[in-house]
């Protein structure tokens, strides 16, 4: 299962949205944590913190015997602090741990480094403490409240035990009401985050498309150029790096086009200049009186003429300006099968193609003709197998002796012949496979050779469907 999109724009948007979503989650978590830990910021809690700090500091300066007497007096009766007239409401999920941590931080700041502060939820087993309670018009009567102090569960009353350790090691214990909770996290904030994420998605998509659109145009132009087309220069738009890459690509394309035009002019001049002296050599050779010598001269001249023609054909195919058309592969193979049948050659076709293929019809026909010619010459008969899918695969098989493994790539080199491993009676210039591979590569495809078992050679021509 692929987790990331395959396209660059999809990956950019996914990465940006993941960063935005993670940031939103972290922000909400931080806000919620701060809301839990800062519940004491109300005026009532501030009053209680100041009272605890003042009391602890006052007890710290007293002699030990006076301090014990004062602490004992404070423990006799609870100390009542007015909390105003608004009742204290705490939700069932009130966080005593967060409240205790909040009290400890604030009280440590009030007392300074000479005191040690520990705050924790009230424990029922702890009975030795100075009690501080709320007092207001909503409170229960003191006698009822006092009767429940010893039995009250820390979860039901939400109280905290505060232990302040003085500089001399003496510990003063308080039991205080926990601070009221802050307002709950509004659910509207999550809907607002969803809307914000959708808006950011649209902005990120627009930005990502602006980044990747020039790259897509660059890729299409490079693909067209690899097929031998001459696309128009690309507009230099986008970020500075993309403009620089587009400018370099346009310059490369311009230099390549000028080189190809110069090469064509050179090949035209070469064809004219070499054909003329070869023709004169042939005419002079035919005037020789010695028949054996004359035949040798004529044979050499004919061989040079054939090599010159094959070389010019190779260069011409490398710069084929033929336009792409929708080619019916099965119809093309049927025509080739009929042509080879007229030459008493055995060619059979298997499989089928699903629809036409965008290709240069004459160039593709020449590529297949060269492959079939080799299969018929060196393997007696040819079998063509067509397989269609994301790419069109055409396999041309023969029943010949095959090739040595180290020669499977060498035979694609111009003028390379391996007559010792194939039929020694054949001729040729060794350019057929080189031309066929050049045509395959011009279509964005590949051509490879592999030996068959127990004998035979297979030429695999792969042509992409999107070419």
Domain ranges of the chain: 8-32+186-226, 38-177, 240-318, 325-464
pLDDT of residue 128: 84
Structure tokens at 344: 């008493």
Mean local confidence (pLDDT), 130-158: 48
SS3 state of residue 7: coil
Q: Do domains 240-318 and 325-464 have the same CATH topology?
A: no
Distances, alpha carbon 219 to alpha carbons 5, 214, 222, 226, 324, in Å: 18, 9, 5, 10, 19
Structure tokens at 421: 């491993």
- Select 240-318's CATH number: 3.30.70, 1.10.287, 1.10.3470, 1.10.405: 1.10.287
Q: Taking the CB of residue 41, how many other CB atoms lie within 10 A of it?
A: 12
The residues, any chain, with a CB within 8 Å of residue 270's CB and separated by 6 or more, are 312
User: Which string of b and e fits 309-319 if b means at least 16 CB within 10 Å?
Assistant: ebbbebeebbe
| 71 within 8 A of 59, measured Cβ to Cβ | yes
The dihedral formed by the CA atoms of 44, 50, 56 and 60, expressed in degrees to the nearest 10: -170
Rounded Cα gap, residues 94 and 426, in angstroms? 96
Listed range (171-185, 345-359, 387-401) with the worst mean pLDDT: 171-185
Structure tokens at 13: 């948007």
Q: Helices marked H in 319-458 — which ranges?
A: 329-342, 361-379, 432-442
Residue 429: pLDDT band (50, 70, 90) is low
| 428 within 8 A of 417, measured Cβ to Cβ | yes
Residue 463: pLDDT band (50, 70, 90) is very high
SS3 state of residue 247: helix
- State in words which class domain 325-464 has: alpha beta
SS3 state of residue 357: strand
- 213-242: per-residue pLDDT in tens? 888 888 888 877 766 667 788 888 877 888
Is residue 251 pLDDT above 70, yes or no? yes
Structure tokens at 44: 């009532």
Rounded Cα gap, residues 360 and 321, in angstroms? 9
**C-alpha angle 275-280-285 in degrees, rounded to nearest 5:** 125
The residue to which tokens 């391996």 are assigned: 418
Residue, of 146 and 273, whose pLDDT is higher: 273
Does the reported pTM lie above 0.75? no
Instruction: Give the DSSP H/E element, type plus range, for residue 113.
Output: none
pLDDT of residue 199: 86
- 326-370: per-residue pLDDT in tens? 999 999 999 999 999 998 899 999 999 988 998 889 889 989 999
Give the residues across from 172 on adjacent strands.
164
Is residue 187 pLDDT above 70, yes or no? yes
Distances, alpha carbon 56 to alpha carbons 43, 70, 226, 256, in Å: 20, 11, 85, 88
Residue 420: pLDDT band (50, 70, 90) is very low
Is residue 313 pLDDT above 80, yes or no? no
Rounded Cα gap, residues 57 and 406, in angstroms? 95
| 315 within 8 A of 442, measured Cβ to Cβ | no
Residue 223, judged by CB atoms within 10 A of its CB (0-12, 13-18, 19+), counts as middle
Is residue 371 pLDDT above 90, yes or no? yes
Whole-angstrom Cα Rg for the chain = 46
């Amino acid at each position: 299962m692929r987790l990331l999109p395959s396209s660059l724009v999809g990956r950019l948007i996914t990465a940006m949205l993941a960063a935005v979503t993670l940031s939103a989650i972290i922000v909400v978590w931080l806000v919620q944590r701060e809301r839990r830990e800062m519940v004491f910021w109300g005026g009532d809690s501030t009053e209680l913190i100041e009272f605890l700090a003042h009391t602890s500091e006052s007890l710290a300066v007293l002699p030990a015997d006076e301090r014990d007497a004062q602490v004992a007096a404070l423990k006799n009766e609870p100390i009542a602090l007015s909390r105003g007239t608004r009742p204290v409401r705490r939700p069932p999920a009130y966080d005593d741990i967060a409240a205790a941590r909040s009290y400890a931080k604030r009280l440590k700041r009030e007392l300074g480094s000479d005191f040690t502060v520990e705050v924790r939820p009230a424990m029922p087993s702890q009975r030795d403490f100075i009690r501080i309670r709320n007092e207001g018009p909503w409170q229960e009567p003191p006698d009822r409240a006092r009767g429940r102090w010893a039995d009250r569960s820390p979860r039901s009353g939400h109280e905290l035990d505060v232990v302040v350790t003085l500089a001399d090691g003496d510990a003063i214990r308080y039991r205080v009401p926990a601070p009221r909770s802050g307002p709950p996290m509004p659910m509207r904030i999550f809907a607002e985050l969803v809307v914000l994420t959708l808006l950011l998605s649209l902005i990120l998509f627009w930005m990502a498309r602006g980044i990747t659109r020039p790259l897509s145009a660059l890729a299409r132009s490079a693909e067209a150029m690899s097929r031998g087309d001459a696309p128009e220069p690309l507009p230099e738009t986008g970020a500075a790096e993309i403009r620089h890459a587009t400018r370099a690509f346009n310059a490369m394309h311009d230099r390549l086009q000028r080189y190809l035009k110069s090469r064509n002019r050179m090949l035209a001049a070469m064809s004219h200049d070499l054909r003329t002296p070869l023709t004169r050599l042939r005419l002079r050779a035919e005037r020789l009186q010695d028949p054996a010598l004359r035949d040798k001269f004529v044979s050499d001249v004919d061989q040079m003429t054939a090599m010159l023609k094959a070389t010019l054909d190779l260069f011409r195919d490398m710069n084929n300006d033929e336009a792409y058309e929708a080619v019916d592969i099965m119809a093309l193979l049927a025509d080739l099968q009929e042509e080879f049948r007229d030459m008493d050659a055995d060619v059979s076709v298997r499989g089928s193609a699903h629809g036409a293929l965008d290709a240069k019809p004459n160039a593709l026909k020449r590529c297949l003709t060269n492959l079939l010619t080799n299969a018929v010459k060196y393997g007696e008969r040819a079998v063509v197998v067509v397989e269609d899918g994301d790419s069109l695969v055409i396999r041309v098989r023969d029943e010949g002796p095959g090739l040595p493994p180290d020669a499977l790539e060498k035979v694609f080199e111009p003028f390379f012949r391996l007559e010792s491993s194939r039929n020694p009676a054949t001729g040729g210039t060794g350019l057929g496979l080189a031309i066929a591979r050049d045509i395959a590569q011009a279509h964005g495809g590949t051509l490879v050779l592999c030996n068959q078992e127990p004998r035979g050679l297979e030429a695999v021509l792969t042509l992409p469907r999107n070419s």
